[in-house]
Amino acid sequence: MGILNVTPDSFADGGRYRDVAHAVDVALAQVDAGAALIDVGGESTRPGAAPVSAGDERARVLPVIAALARQASVPISIDTYKADVAAAALDAGAVIVNDVSGLAADPEMAGVVAARRAALVLMHNRGRSDAMYERAQYGEVVREVGAELEAGVALAEAAGVARDRIILDPGIGFAKRADDSLRLLARLDDAVFTALDRPLLLGPSRKSFLRVGLGEREPGDREWGTAAAVTACILAGAHIVRVHGVEAMSQVARVADSILAARTA
């Protein structure tokens, strides 16, 4: 999954793709480089990010999604936690809603996804961007994240979202300290996740937990660390990896897939 942030303040690439034509060119280049999905976001969800109005978010993402829907050969995802933004994006051509709040931010979101028969990425999180670390307190992070994802699936199904349209994201870096994120990556194959029987999406790209191994580096200088995390995710059972550097990470993913396939060859 290629990341396309049409925001001025994303932690990794803020402001780079705000022009519609340029954003579309970047997304199409990601597809050519190996992206099987494009995730378009109009509001930064980095810790401490200021909220964006639904109107501003729609203005950022809808022209890009509409243009991509006419040109791209892969499914388009809208990265939003607002139901009205999701509805407009789905009308414009998106087919997946990537909700970083795990349906917690907007009570209308599950109904929008169900009514449009869209796919849903349901991510584990606790709290908004400006306060998420206050709730990053776990006794056993793998068990608790699994249980909270299970509750999210139940909420989605109760609203009419078909289970086979749900993808789960443990939420690396969201309401989690670095050691929590590392523990989740190390135990993606735990029974608590396999029992949910849904595809797993992981987004380790350029995130701050990588500093545990890399030391202090700017996000754009964490690609080698991202490569290691992407490999670990795939070998542990991730089905989708969400990345910024699509060309390099596509190569990483193909090699990791080859190693994984050799286990049963």
Could you read off the pLDDT of 52-61 as tens digits, one per residue?
899 999 999 9
Assess whether pLDDT exceeds 60 at residue 187: yes
Among the listed residues 207, 217, 222, 263, the single catalytic one is 207
| Confidence at residue 16, expressed as pLDDT on a 0 to 100 scale | 54
Cut 0.95: pTM above it: no
Nearest-CA neighbor of 201 among 234, 231, 223?
234
Assess whether pLDDT exceeds 80 at residue 48: no
| Confidence at residue 12, expressed as pLDDT on a 0 to 100 scale | 46
pLDDT bin (cut points 50, 70, 90) of residue 14 is very low
Confirm whether 207 is a catalytic residue: yes
**Section 232-253 average pLDDT:** 97
Among the listed residues 60, 165, 222, 242, the single catalytic one is 242
The CATH classification number of 2-262 equals 3.20.20.20
Alpha carbon distances (Å) from 93 to 116, 206, 222: 11, 28, 32
